[in-house]
Amino acid sequence: MPFDALAAQVWPDEPPMHPRAALRTLVSRLRATDQVITEPAGYRLVPRPPAPCQLPADLPDFVGRKEEIARLELIDAPVRAITGLPGVGKTVLAIREAHRLRERFPDGQLYVNLRGFSTGPSMTVEQALTRFVKALGGGQEDDYRELLRNRRVLVVLDNATADVIAPLLPATPGCAALITSRQDLPQFAQVKLGVLAEQEARELLKGMRVEGDTGELISLCARLPLALRIAGANLAGRHLPDYVEELREHRLRALEIEDDDTAVQAAFDLSYRKLSPRARRTFDFLGAVPGPDIPRGLAGDAVEELVAANLVQRTGDRFQLHDLLRLYARARATDEDRRAVFEWYLTRVDGADAQLNIGFTRVLPAVADPVPFAGRDEAVAWFEAERANLVALAQEHPDAGLVAGLRGHLLLAGHFADLRTIARAALAVETTGQRRAAMRVCLGYLDWRFGEHRSAIAHCEKAISGFRAAGRQAEESVALNILAGVYHDLGELDLARDHLTAAIDLYVANDLRTHLPGGLGNLGLLELELGRLESSEDALRRSVDLAREIDDWHRVAHGLNNLGVALAARKKHAEAEQAFLQALDLAGRHGFRQTEMSARVEYAEFLVGTGRRDEARDNAERALELAGDDDLFTRVDAQLVLAELNRSADEFDEVLRRATEAEFRIIEVRALAGKAALLQDKALCDKAIERAESAGLRYRANLVRELSSGMS
C-alpha cells in the first residue's frame, strides 16, 4: 500500500505534521505492547498478555564469577545448565544470569525450585506445570507449551534432577531455559561451577565484615562459598587468629572436598559446634520439619541464636533453613523429633478442624486432646499459614488421620490438588479398612470434581464397603452422598436417588441432624432434574432452614445457591436473585471458595436469562478465575455461560467436547440446547432432547422442547 494511502487510513480526519515519524512511533508502541504475528496475508497484532516475573531477588552481595558469566553470555543454545557441588553458588549465579537476560524475554520469566535435592518431598512435574500454566494465564486443560507459542519466555528450573527436566522445557522458538542441578547434564550447554577464585573469596569475606589477613581462612575453607559464609558468620565478634587455629585442628575432616556431603558436613559442623546446647537441640529439632519454613511456635526461643549464627533466616514471623543446612539438620534430627513435629501439627490440625467441621463428617476420629482455637477465623488463618508445611508433612509421613483433619479446610478453600496428593499418599500406605475407606472418600469426591467419574465411583463403592464392615454408618453416609452426586452428574438419576435415599436413611437412623441439610440439598437438585419443581423447592428450603438452625453457614450458602436454581426454574425471579446474592455474600464473608465459584456460575446463568449480560459475564469470568486448575466441572460450566454470552458456535463445540469427555451430562445437554438456539437448529434440539431423556433429565428435556417449539 502506498505510504500516503496508509497514512490516510491511520489518520483519516487530521493527519500529523510529520506522518512518517508518527507512524514509526506508533509501530514502536504497538510492538512494545502487542505481538506482531506474520501470516500469509500480512501482519496481525495480538495483545501481549501480562508478563509474569517469578524470579527471586538478585543478591546484593554477589561477588565474582566473571569467567562463568562470560561463558554463559557466549552460549547461544535454548537450554543452559549450571552444575556443580552443593554450596558452590549455582542458584545465586542462575538468578543473576536470569535478571541479566530479562530484557530478552519480555513475555515473562518463570521460576520454580524443584527441590530435587531437598529433604522434603520434591516438586512433581505436575505441580510445576500447574504453577507455570497458572502464571501464563492458563487453566487446567491448557497445554504448557501451547501457551508459550508466540511468546518469548525464560524458564528457570532450580535444583532440578535429570528425570524431571524434559517435560518442563519450553521447546518453543524464542523461549529459553536455565537449569541448576547437582547432577552433570552433558546433554545441554553446560557451565560447571567450581569454587571461588582467591580474590573473589576475599571480597565475599570483606562484605561480611571479616577484618584482617584472611588468606589462611580462605585456604582452610577451600574457597567454597557456603563454607566461607558460615565461617564469616561464626567470626562475628570473634578474634580471627583464634578461629583459624580451630580450623587448623579439623582441616581434613572439616574442609577437605572429596565429595559433596563431606565438604558441606564439615562446614556445617564448624558452625554447629559454636552454638549453645539449647540452640543445638533446637537446630536438630528443626531438621524434623519437612516444609519450606518454620512457625515461631514450633521453632522455640533459641532460634534467635541460630539466626545470629546465620544458620537460620527470619522471614517475618517465620524461619527458614537453606536446603543444605536443612539436610544437615535432618541428619541430626531423631525419630523422637520427627514424631514430636508430627504430633505438634496433628493436634493443631484437629483443633482447627473442629472450628470448621459443622456440616462435614469427620471420616476418622480426631485425637483425644486437640489444641483449641478461639474461633473459625483463627483456624482458617492458621490452616492457610501452615498449608505448605502440612501438605509436605502429609507427603513425608502419610497418615490417614492427618489427611482427615485437613479435609474440611482444603475442600472449603478449594485446594483440591493438595488434598488429592496427600490422600493418594496415605491410601498407598494404610492397611486398616476404615482408614483406607476414609482416604477413598476424599479421592472419590476429588475425582468427581476432576471429571474422572468412573474412578470416583470405584473409590466410593470401596469406601462404602470399608465403612460398612467397620460398622461406621455416619462415615458410610458420606460416601453414599458423594456417590449420589457422581451419578447425578452422569445423568443416571435412578442410581443417584437410590444412593441418596440410603444416605438420608442413615442420617435419620443415627440421629445425624447436622448431615441432613446436605442430603436434602442434593435431593432437591435431583428432584429438579426429574422435573418435580415444587418438590425440589420444598427440599431445598428445608435444607437451608436446617442449616441455619445449627449455624452451618457453609450449607446455608450452598443451599441458597441451589434454591436460587430451583426458584429460577419456577420463574420466581425476584426470590431467585435474592437467594443467589445471599449465597454469594455468605461464601465471600466466610471464604467458601468452592461455593462462591459455583454460585457465580449459577447466578451468571440466571442473569443471561434475564437479559443482564454484562453482569453475567463478570460473574462467569470470576468463577473461572476462582476455579483455577482445581475444579474442572466449574470451569466447563462457566465456559458454557460465556459461549452463550459470546454467541459462539465454536465455543459451544469446545464445551461440548469437554463435557462429553468428562461425562458431565447436564452440561452436555445444555450446550446442545444453547448451540441449537444460536443456530435455530431443530435437529440439534432433537439431539439434546434425546440425550436428556436417555439420562432421565426430564426438566432439561422439557426446556429444550419449549425452545424447539419456538423455532420457525
Domain boundary among 133, 161, 193: 193
pLDDT in tens, 499-531: 988 988 888 877 777 777 888 888 898 888 888
CA distance 120 to 105: 32
One domain, residues 80 and 99: yes
DSSP state of 2: -
Which domain, by its residues, includes 418?
337-430
Q: Is residue 565 part of a domain?
A: no
Does pLDDT of 168 surpass 90? yes
For position 26, what pLDDT does the model report? 64
Q: Is residue 601 part of a domain?
A: no
Q: What is the DSSP string of 238-299?
A: S-HHHHHHHHHHTHHHHH--SSHHHHHHHHHHHHHTTS-HHHHHHHHHHTT--SS-EEHHHH
CA distance 671 to 704: 11
Q: How confident is the model at residue 2 (pLDDT cuts 50, 70, 90)?
A: low
Does pLDDT of 207 surpass 90? no
- Name the nearest CA neighbour of 405 among 366, 442, 431: 366
One domain, residues 157 and 209: no
And the C-alpha cell for 440?
Answer: 477413598
The contacts of residue 262 (CB under 8 Å, 6+ apart) are 256
| Strands lying side by side in the sheet with 189-193 | 109-113, 154-158, 176-181, 79-84, 189-193
One domain, residues 81 and 138: yes
CA distance 330 to 291: 12
Does pLDDT of 494 surpass 50? yes
Amino acid identity of residue 47, one-letter, is P
Arithmetic mean of pLDDT, 305-318: 78
CA distance 636 to 596: 16
For position 298, what pLDDT does the model report? 92
| 711: three-class secondary structure by DSSP | coil
Q: Which residue has the higher pLDDT, 35 or 444?
A: 444
Q: Is residue 167 part of a domain?
A: yes
* CB-neighbour burial class of residue 626 (10 A; exposed 0-12, middle 13-18, buried 19+): buried
How distant is the alpha carbon of residue 596 from its chain centre? 18
One domain, residues 78 and 178: yes
Least confident of 171-180, 424-433, 508-517, 531-540: 508-517
Q: What is the mean pLDDT of the chain?
A: 85
When divided into structural domains, the chain yields a total of: 6
And the C-alpha cell for 425?
Answer: 499418599
Does pLDDT of 227 surpass 50? yes
For position 188, what pLDDT does the model report? 94
For position 83, what pLDDT does the model report? 85
Q: Please state the φ and ψ torsions of residue 565, each to the nearest 5 degrees.
A: -65, -45
Angle at 582 between CA 634 and CA 597, to 5 degrees: 15
Q: Is residue 437 part of a domain?
A: no
Arithmetic mean of pLDDT, 239-260: 60
For position 621, what pLDDT does the model report? 93
Q: What is the DSSP string of 194-242?
A: -PPPHHHHHHHHHHTT--S--HHHHHHTTT-HHHHHHHHHHTTTS-HHH
pLDDT in tens, 386-403: 999 999 999 999 999 999
Strand partners, 82: 180, 191
One domain, residues 266 and 320: no
For position 682, what pLDDT does the model report? 87
- Name the nearest CA neighbour of 324 among 255, 251, 267: 267
Does pLDDT of 270 surpass 60? no
How distant is the alpha carbon of residue 54 from its chain centre? 15
Distances (CA, A) of 336 to 287, 400, 555, 700: 12, 20, 41, 60
Name the strand (E) or helix (H) holding 665.
helix 665-679
Please state at what angle helix 19-33 crosses helix 3-10, rounded to 10 degrees.
60
Q: What is the DSSP string of 503-540?
A: HHHHHHHTT-GGGHHHHHHHHHHHHHHTT-HHHHHHHH
Amino acid identity of residue 362, one-letter, is R
Domain boundary among 162, 177, 193: 193
Q: Is residue 482 part of a domain?
A: no
Residue 670 near residue 633 (C-beta atoms within 8 A): no
Angle at 393 between CA 391 and CA 398, to 5 degrees: 95
And the C-alpha cell for 275?
Answer: 552454638
For position 551, what pLDDT does the model report? 84
For position 259, what pLDDT does the model report? 42
- Name the nearest CA neighbour of 704 among 35, 683, 712: 683
One domain, residues 211 and 96: no
| 45: three-class secondary structure by DSSP | strand
CA distance 228 to 481: 61
Name the strand (E) or helix (H) holding 260.
helix 260-272
CA distance 703 to 708: 9
pLDDT in tens, 635-671: 999 999 999 999 999 999 999 999 888 888 888 888 9
Residue 231 near residue 263 (C-beta atoms within 8 A): no
One domain, residues 211 and 106: no
For position 447, what pLDDT does the model report? 92
pLDDT in tens, 122-145: 889 999 999 999 898 887 778 899
Strand partners, 36: 45
Distances (CA, A) of 442 to 249, 507, 510: 57, 20, 22
One domain, residues 90 and 161: yes
Q: Is residue 442 part of a domain?
A: no
One domain, residues 268 and 300: no
CA distance 521 to 412: 17
Rg of the chain (C-alpha set): 30
For position 246, what pLDDT does the model report? 75
Does pLDDT of 304 surpass 60? yes
For position 252, what pLDDT does the model report? 38
And the C-alpha cell for 216?
Answer: 589462611
One domain, residues 297 and 328: yes
One domain, residues 701 and 660: yes
Domain boundary among 131, 164, 193: 193
CA distance 100 to 309: 32
Q: Please give the span between the terminal C-alpha atoms of the chain, in angstroms, as a whole number.
A: 47
Does pLDDT of 9 surpass 80? no
One domain, residues 267 and 350: no
User: Considering the chain, what percentage of its residues have pLDDT values greater than 90?
Assistant: 41
For position 183, what pLDDT does the model report? 78
For position 47, what pLDDT does the model report? 58
Residue 195 near residue 87 (C-beta atoms within 8 A): no
Length of the chain: 712
Virtual torsion, Cα 195, 196, 202, 208, nearest 10 deg? -80
Place of cell 459475564: 617
Q: Is residue 105 part of a domain?
A: yes
For position 236, what pLDDT does the model report? 66
| 492: three-class secondary structure by DSSP | coil
Residue 636 near residue 664 (C-beta atoms within 8 A): yes
Q: What is the DSSP string of 476-498?
A: HHHHHHHHHHHHHHHT-HHHHHH
And the C-alpha cell for 222?
Answer: 577451600
Does pLDDT of 117 surpass 70? no
Q: Is residue 610 part of a domain?
A: no
Q: How confident is the model at residue 195 (pLDDT cuts 50, 70, 90)?
A: confident
CATH number at residue 299: 1.10.10
And the C-alpha cell for 667?
Answer: 452440561
And the C-alpha cell for 212?
Answer: 584482617
Does pLDDT of 201 surpass 80? yes
Does pLDDT of 382 surpass 50? yes
pLDDT in tens, 60-101: 778 888 899 999 988 889 999 998 766 788 888 999 999 999
CA distance 62 to 161: 25
- Name the nearest CA neighbour of 54 among 139, 133, 170: 133
